[in-house]
Structures are given as structure tokens and as C-alpha cells.
Amino acid sequence: DSGVTQTPKHLITATGQRVTLRCSPRSGDLSVYWYQQSLDQGLQFLIQYYNGEERAKGNILERFSAQQFPDLHSELNLSSLELGDSALYFCASSGRDLQETQYFGPGTRLLVL
């Protein structure tokens, strides 16, 4: 158990809908990262937050957005969903240092029908 929690574990929805994925980092960690993993793409970095502020952006679509709240939990919002958004979404957290080890949560499996 990494100490990172994610909800829900599974999500089934329809195209065009909007969903919110939630992540709670390990106690004491300030950074939260979001990743998308699909069968043909591997693990793709989406976005990083550090202590409530956006720190780095990866291959995140405009239809996707995220935020980190004062209690440090984070939410990833996915809107106007398409079939191709079906994937595993992982959250990871890390501590204060620049050279950071990320600890991953169990993931949310999203299926868009």
C-alpha cells in the first residue's frame, strides 16, 4: 500500500459526459501528479500540482482539467468524453525535494461507452 488513495476504482460513462476523479496524496506529500495509461500509449504524464499550484503540464487535453485543494487532495476533471479516453488514470504523490520519488495510487479505470 503506497498511501495514495484514488476514488472511484471503476467508472463507466457515455460519450459526451463529464467525470471527476479524486486523489488523496500520502500524508506529508505536497506534490500530486496525474497520469493516463492506455494499452497503446503507456504511462503518459498529464499534469503536476505542488501545494495547490500547477507546476508542470504534460500531454493534457483541453477537455481535461485538474486542481489541488488546500487539504492537498486533487481532482481530475474529464469532460466531453470520447471513446479514446477510456484508460487507467493514476495519481501519484511525492515530497518536497526536487529529486522526488513518486508513489502511485491504485488507479481509476474509466470506460467510455
DSSP code per residue over 31-75: EEEEEEEETTTEEEEEEEEETTEEEEE-S--TTEEEEE-TTS-EE
Specify the DSSP class assigned to residue 109.
E
Is residue 36 a contact point for another protein (CB under 8 A)? no
Q: Which is nearer to another protein, 12 or 15 (CB)?
A: 12
Binding mask 51-90 for another protein (x = CB under 8 A): ----xxxx-----------------------------x-x
**Which residues are paired to 109 by β-bridges?**
10, 88
Cα separation, 12 vs 61, whole angstroms? 20
Q: Which is nearer to another protein, 75 or 100 (CB)?
A: 100
Residue ranges that bind another protein, judged by CB under 8 A: 2, 4, 33, 42-45, 48, 50, 55-58, 88, 90, 92, 98-107, 109
